[in-house]
């Protein structure tokens, strides 16, 4: 096993282990994925809820809510692509038992990154019921 393969294998711990949280994905063709591919284990990923940004008007650092979900590619039934409409449900708070809240992909940051070591980042945006 080379180093990249070892890193990918370790994602089961670093992304899907105790630091991970449950995630569900709904693909554009309406298929819901709640379990890891070819297993009966729940799909899990690393979720960052907030990020630090700079207020361009004042130069101050501010913390903004911008969920970023990192998933192991080999655990996915289908790999999300930029421009596709997916629904991503994540816990409302960083808790295993928190209710899931649905999001969509950000239109300005396509999913991607980390392909060389086998993970994918999803930048999420709020979604509401259309009227």
Residues 47-86 that bind another protein (CB under 8 A): 51, 55, 57-58, 64-67, 85-86
DSSP H/E element including 54 = strand 44-54
Cβ of residue 47: shortest distance to another protein, in angstroms?
Answer: 13
**Of 38 and 129, CB closest to another protein:** 129
- Determine the Cα–Cα distance for residues 71 and 97; give it in Å rounded to an integer: 19
Pairing of strands 21-22, 44-54: antiparallel
Cβ of residue 50: shortest distance to another protein, in angstroms?
Answer: 9
Query: Exactly one of 6, 9, 17, 31 binds another protein (CB under 8 A); which one?
Result: 31
**Of 13 and 63, CB closest to another protein:** 63
- Determine the Cα–Cα distance for residues 82 and 16; give it in Å rounded to an integer: 23
Residue 34 interacting with another protein (CB under 8 A): no
Cβ of residue 84: shortest distance to another protein, in angstroms?
Answer: 9
Tokens 């630090």 correspond to 52
Residues 90-119 that bind another protein (CB under 8 A): 102-104, 106-109
For residue 111, what are the CA distances in angstroms to 45, 58, 68, 130? 14, 30, 10, 24
Reference 80, options 90, 65, 69; nearest CA is 69
Residues that bind another protein (CB under 8 A): 26, 28-31, 51, 55, 57-58, 64-67, 85-87, 102-104, 106-109, 124-131
């Amino acid at each position: 096993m080379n180093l990249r393969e070892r890193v990918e294998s370790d994602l089961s711990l670093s992304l899907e282990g105790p630091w991970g949280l449950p995630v569900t994905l709904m693909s554009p063709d309406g298929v819901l994925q709640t379990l890891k591919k070819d297993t009966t284990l729940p799909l899990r990923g690393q979720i960052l809820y907030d990020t630090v940004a700079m207020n361009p008007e004042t130069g101050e650092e501010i913390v903004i809510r911008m969920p970023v979900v990192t998933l192991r590619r080999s655990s996915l039934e289908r790999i999300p692509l930029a421009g596709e409409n997916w629904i991503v449900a994540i816990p409302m708070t960083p808790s295993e038992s928190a209710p899931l809240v649905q999001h969509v992909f950000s239109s300005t940051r396509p999913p991607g990154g980390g392909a060389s070591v086998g993970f994918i980042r999803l930048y999420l945006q709020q979604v509401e019921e259309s009227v």
